[in-house]
Structure 1
């Protein structure tokens, strides 16, 4: 699925239909340097005041390894992923189990937090 059909509509203000789609759109936002989108899709209860993106890090690939719930009939969801990037020191591999929930504002999916998977 290309940017125009996957993440582009979400970056333009559309609602993600699932936690996984929100995860993919957030990865694309990291790749594009779109800090406002990252903040807008972060749960207000856990959202930082700002997001500092490293201009020297180039995000290359996202591998979604597992999803738990996070669909149209769920209130919460989990997405385990590995993101691959290239930075000044070489290859970067970030693995996370991210938690998502539907926000009270229109039922939109938001990122809550993440941790290294067991």
Structure 2
């Protein structure tokens, strides 16, 4: 349990850094989307990667809860920019969140991009 709490705390700390970087990414993404011939912005590319990885991983893991998947889908539908917290509540969801985190960080995304965060309360 302590290990899970440490992992969740680490994910939370990394996720909080998004406030610092997301404004610039959203501004750049909005400018790039105005020109349809422009290459994908980094924010759009990260979202595309996250979406692809999540689809692949979700197929391999049927133990993800409906609420967890619905929150993740809301994050994706926002263009991966809304601060929608996707809280893993089972071991399968935590394992999935950790795999997604590793995939995205290996692609160059920072941990602050990820939506995996549990509200304190």
TM-score under structure 1 normalisation?
0.26
Q: Which has the higher contact order (CA 8 A, sep 6+)?
A: 2
Greater fraction of residues in strand:
1
TM norm structure 2: 0.26
